[in-house]
């Protein structure tokens, strides 16, 4: 790969401090894979988003706040849902324009959830109360510890990329896919039945994982391979 693709990252938002920011792991993960990462402005202005889609070679939708209930037409079923309306609005517009332009999109944690809900899927609003299991989806270990396994279905991009039936991942989420959106397929499934990775067949690269490769990549070759696959797609003309 000779070209260093320019990849836009959706910003993390601190509502109380009226700021937006970025964890270095997201950028370092992409830099190590050969990309030039750029944090995007927090905007849902259509013309601005179209400009970004034209200029960038791909997009990483980062983790962060819960997806707002209105995005997937749900009624409140938990009292600990903490959305960020600014991010919801921005990422819905960004995803629509990126899909229209067939630009590569990779989602991490919230990124998986916003892709699923934007395309018509739903979420468990709080796993411990709505989908209890023996899997600790908010692990107590350090962020780079791989705490549970996921199975990779036949035909999934992860099985093709990694050549394995199962991998281990880290886990820091209290929400997850409930109903998978039409047009998406599952690329990884946890032992308690949750879909933990998705892909959109027919698109150049629209994929997402529920876990956090930006925390694990220094120790985990799988995280590096997934990032490399995304960056390679962004570099292709």
- Please indicate whether residue 51 is annotated as part of the active site: no
Residue 147: CB atoms within 10 A of its CB come to 18
Q: To 10 degrees, what angle do helices 85-101 and 110-118 make?
A: 70
Which of 148, 212, 229, 234 is labelled catalytic?
212
- Please indicate whether residue 16 is annotated as part of the active site: no
CA angle 117, 24, 143 (to 5 degrees): 70
Which of 109, 174, 196, 234 is labelled catalytic?
109
Please give the full DSSP string across 95-113, using - where no structure is assigned: HHHHHHHT--EEEETHHHH
Q: Tell the residue number behind the tokens 């998978």, with chain if given.
A: 180
- Please indicate whether residue 214 is annotated as part of the active site: yes
- C-beta separation of 98 from 46 below 8 A: no
- C-beta separation of 87 from 10 below 8 A: yes
Q: How many residues does the chain have?
A: 237
Residues 96-118 as b/e (b if ≥16 CB within 10 A, e otherwise) read ebbbeeebbbbbbbbbbbbbbbb
Which of 97, 196, 199, 214 is labelled catalytic?
214
Q: Which residues are catalytic?
A: 109, 212, 214
């Amino acid at each position: 790969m000779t070209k260093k693709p320019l990849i836009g990252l959706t910003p993390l938002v601190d509502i109380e401090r009226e700021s937006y920011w970025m964890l270095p792991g997201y950028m370092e993960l992409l830099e190590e894979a050969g990309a030039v990462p750029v944090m995007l402005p927090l905007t849902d202005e259509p013309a601005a988003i179209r400009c970004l889609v034209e200029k960038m070679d791909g997009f990483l939708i980062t983790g962060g706040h819960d997806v707002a209930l209105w995005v997937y037409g749900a009624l409140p079923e938990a009292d600990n849902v903490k959305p960020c309306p600014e991010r919801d609005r921005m990422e819905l517009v960004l995803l629509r324009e990126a899909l229209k332009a067939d630009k590569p999109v990779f989602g991490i944690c919230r990124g998986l959830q916003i892709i699923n809900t934007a395309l018509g899927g739903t979420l468990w609003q709080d796993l411990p109360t709505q989908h209890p299991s023996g899997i600790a989806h908010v692990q107590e270990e350090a962020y780079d510890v791989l705490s549970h396994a996921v199975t990779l279905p036949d035909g999934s991009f992860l099985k093709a990329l990694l050549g394995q039936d199962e991998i281990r991942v880290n886990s820091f989420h209290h929400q997850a896919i409930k109903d998978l959106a039409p047009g998406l397929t599952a690329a990884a499934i946890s032992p308690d039945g949750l879909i933990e990775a998705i892909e959109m067949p027919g698109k150049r690269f629209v994929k997402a994982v529920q876990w956090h490769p930006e925390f694990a990549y220094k120790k985990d070759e799988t995280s590096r391979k997934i990032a490399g696959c995304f960056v390679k797609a962004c570099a292709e003309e």
